[in-house]
A and B are shown apart, each in its own frame.
Chain A
Amino acid sequence: MSTAILDSAPTGVLELRGIHQLYGTGDAQVHALRGIDLSVAAGEYLAIMGPSGSGKSTLMNLLGCLDVASSGKYSLAGHDVNEMDEKALARVRNKEIGFIFQSFNLVNRMTAVANAELPLVYGGVRRLERRQRALEALEMVNLSHRADHLPQALSGGQQQRVAIARALVTNPTLLLADEPTGNLDSESTHEILAIFDQLAAAGRTIVIITHEEEVAARAHRVLSISDGLIVSDRTNPRRTLR
């Protein structure tokens, strides 16, 4: 572990310094992130807002270790992500992070419970325990009665709940959700936000991207991004980190 990280204060679960992300080359080059400095403390519930194309998903993919920044420093729970090898990154994705995608990203030919089990398969958990924990996770999102359905037999809201169950099944310290309610009706949105509230109350660190004020209103802290830069960072007076 480098001393620079230990020296940098304040130390959060997520520490980003001077993050730039460039896509493409030449005339087609897009500067998606232009210098992001961000610190997220343990147990914080953070909402990221901003217009379409402002770089929210780009940032989220970096946080989830699904992509690598062009430049800048990112450390996760004190570990420099740039210095992690392929195996270590896979471990972090598996054990530390639960990622919820805007487009669900379920494996279509696997049942709800098999999808929810998938992270445990890569975590080397035994079959019986795996099934048990996946069912518990589905129970949490009120979907145990659909455990043996394939994704195409589920509604959008139900699919997103399977994806949430999958993100929760490993008990990750960090939950990242990219517009989890973007495709859902208001009822499903409420159900899912209620789950997030519970998780936040239980002390999980949550980062959520949203376009909806209603969703952002539940977070402890709201970040606004525009054109690859953080333009505002305010704490929610009604809901603060205890």
Chain B
Amino acid sequence: MRLIDILQSALRGVTSNKLRSVLTLLGVLIGVASVILLMAVGNGSAAKIRAAITSLGTNTITVRANGGSSTTGSSAITLAVSKQLEAAGLGHVTNVVPQATTSLTVSSAGASEDAISIIGTSADYFTVSTATVASGSAFTADDVASAAKVAVIGSTLATELFPSASALGQSISIDGTPFTVVGILATQSSVGFTDPNTEVIAPISRIQRSYTGFGAVSSLLVQAKDSDSVTAAEGEVTVELNQLLGVSSTAATSASASGSGRTSGLASQVSATSPFTVTDQSSLLQTQAESADSFTALLAAVAAISLLVGGIGVTNVMLVTVTERTREIGIRKALGATRGAILGQFLAEAATLTLVGGILGVIIALVLAQYPFNGTQPVVIGYSIPLALGVSVAIGVFFGVYPAARAAGMRPIQALRSI
């Protein structure tokens, strides 16, 4: 039997029973599309978290003052403590940036925004954090020294305050005090609850003088030498701060001991007696990324089940077909069809059906993946396409061919008598 005849009889088999063909096609299509889509959604949410980690910077540590009386007592982390920590020359630390934060109303001539987060910090902030100035420039160390009324503002805030013109060089009022906008930040992806694109960043000296006072700062942003020395830097910072603040050595020991447990996913070193908390945010996000990965795995399992169910549907249709067509196989054998010719026909038939269904499924999945699902942009995983296609085609072909192979192995008279 010639190849073209095999293909032609397969095509005739596909078109002569449309309902069966459509059911098979649908089973494969849904299975393939759902595998690719579900895996893409899981992957998309993991990708979102990975992007957030890199935007945060993988080598920064945040030291937060624990609230309560300590903020005013001798153990408060003040600007002076921040300078001492930086001057201590810790081996794994390259920068210490103080942050005094508050939340105030910011207004321009035409607009006003409530509860804007104001960060008073040093000029090094722009090298330590991932915030970059898109237009204009950052404020300088001189601005900090002179407590200049200058500010760098987030891109969203800039357009909200100055919808029609550039905010650069304009004057804004923070709780009544006028500031000049010297720079606008590049748009950043949002991490956690605050939108970095609506922040105002100004010299810490000015923020303390006008709003927060000269007591404790809110937090310190510590830059480790590189992402590998984050743990060592955490330890050094903890020990040094304990010393600077005169915290008892037992509290200091317990704080630094828990610091070695970074890999356990516990990102904070909290001690009941310690006046501060050292947080390594990238490791916190790491655990989030891990949970996103297990979410992807869960979705993949659901997808695998839907593929299996689709496969069972295909199998069912194929089994019924072959039983129905055993007599036809008998006729063909009586007329001189070899086993191979019969198998070829059923193989081509099953392959055509499952491949067409599978390819349609891939196309539909790729189209649907263009649209965000529940706020997450699905990202199609490359290997999920051959995986889903391969599994569904294998199922369809196996169950299309296996019963046909059984019938083709019969003596013609057995097959002819079977119905």
Q: Which residues of A contact B (CB under 8 A)?
A: 61, 64, 66-68, 86-87, 90-91, 93-95, 99, 101, 105-107, 109-110, 118-119, 121-124, 126-127, 166, 170
Once the chains are docked, how many angstroms separate the CA of A201 from the CA of B413?
Answer: 30
Chain B residues with Cβ under 8 A from A106's Cβ? 331
B411 to A66, Cβ gap below 8 A?
Answer: yes
- Residue among A90, A101, A109, A123 with most chain B CB within 10 A: A90
B339 to A93, Cβ gap below 8 A?
Answer: no
Chain B residues with Cβ under 8 A from A109's Cβ? 12, 16
Chain B residues with Cβ under 8 A from A123's Cβ? 336
A119 and B336 in contact (CB under 8 A), knowing A68-B411, A124-B1? Answer: yes
Once the chains are docked, how many angstroms separate the CA of A86 from the CA of B340?
Answer: 10
Whole-angstrom distance from the CB of B416 to the nearest CB of chain A?
7
B338 to A107, Cβ gap below 8 A?
Answer: no
* B335 CB contact (under 8 Å) in A61, A93, A127: A93
Closest to B412 in A: A66
Once the chains are docked, how many angstroms separate the CA of A118 from the CA of B12?
Answer: 13
B-side interface residues, number (CB < 8 Å):
25
Chain A residues with Cβ under 8 A from B331's Cβ? 105-107, 118
Once the chains are docked, how many angstroms separate the CA of A166 from the CA of B336?
Answer: 12
A90 to B333, Cβ gap below 8 A?
Answer: yes
Whole-angstrom distance from the CB of B329 to the nearest CB of chain A?
10
Instruction: Bits for B116-135, please: 1 = Cβ < 8 Å to A, else 0.
Output: 00000000000000000000
Closest to B17 in A: A109
B411 to A67, Cβ gap below 8 A?
Answer: yes
* B1 CB contact (under 8 Å) in A95, A105, A122, A126: A122
Once the chains are docked, how many angstroms separate the CA of A116 from the CA of B5?
Answer: 15
B148 within 8 A of A: no
Once the chains are docked, how many angstroms separate the CA of A231 from the CA of B341?
Answer: 41
Chain A residues with Cβ under 8 A from B411's Cβ? 66-68
A166 to B338, Cβ gap below 8 A?
Answer: no
A122 and B16 in contact (CB under 8 A), knowing A67-B411, A67-B413, A107-B328? Answer: no
B412 to A93, Cβ gap below 8 A?
Answer: yes
Q: Which residues of B contact A (CB under 8 A)?
A: 1-2, 4-5, 9, 12, 16, 327-328, 330-339, 341, 411-414, 416
List 10 A–B pairs whose Cβ atoms lie within 8 Å, in order of A's numbering. Answer: A66-B413, A67-B412, A67-B414, A93-B333, A94-B337, A107-B328, A121-B5, A122-B337, A127-B4, A166-B335
A118 to B412, Cβ gap below 8 A?
Answer: no
* A110 CB contact (under 8 Å) in B12, B333, B416: B12
Once the chains are docked, how many angstroms separate the CA of A204 from the CA of B333?
Answer: 23
A122 to B341, Cβ gap below 8 A?
Answer: yes
* B339 CB contact (under 8 Å) in A64, A86, A99: A86
B2 to A124, Cβ gap below 8 A?
Answer: yes
Chain A residues with Cβ under 8 A from B12's Cβ? 109-110
Chain B residues with Cβ under 8 A from A99's Cβ? 334-335
Chain B residues with Cβ under 8 A from A105's Cβ? 327, 330-331, 334, 416
A122 and B335 in contact (CB under 8 A), knowing A107-B328, A110-B12? Answer: yes
* A66 CB contact (under 8 Å) in B4, B332, B338, B416: B416
A90 and B416 in contact (CB under 8 A), knowing A68-B411, A109-B16? Answer: no
A64 and B5 in contact (CB under 8 A), knowing A105-B416, A109-B12, A110-B12? Answer: no
With A110-B12, A126-B2 known, 9 other A-B pairs at CB within 8 A are A64-B334, A67-B411, A67-B412, A87-B338, A90-B333, A90-B338, A93-B333, A99-B334, A121-B9
Once the chains are docked, how many angstroms separate the CA of A101 from the CA of B416?
Answer: 11
Chain B residues with Cβ under 8 A from A66's Cβ? 334, 411-413, 416
Question: Lowest 5 CB-CB distances: which A-B pairs, in order?
Answer: A94-B336, A90-B338, A66-B412, A66-B413, A122-B336
Chain A residues with Cβ under 8 A from B337's Cβ? 90, 94, 122
Chain A residues with Cβ under 8 A from B413's Cβ? 61, 66-67
Whole-angstrom distance from the CB of A14 to the nearest CB of chain B?
18
Once the chains are docked, how many angstroms separate the CA of A161 from the CA of B331?
Answer: 16
Once the chains are docked, how many angstroms separate the CA of A42 from the CA of B332?
Answer: 27
Closest to A99 in B: B334
Whole-angstrom distance from the CB of A126 to the nearest CB of chain B?
8
Whole-angstrom distance from the CB of B6 to the nearest CB of chain A?
9
Chain B residues with Cβ under 8 A from A126's Cβ? 2
Closest to A106 in B: B331
Chain A residues with Cβ under 8 A from B4's Cβ? 127
Once the chains are docked, how many angstroms separate the CA of A101 from the CA of B12?
Answer: 24
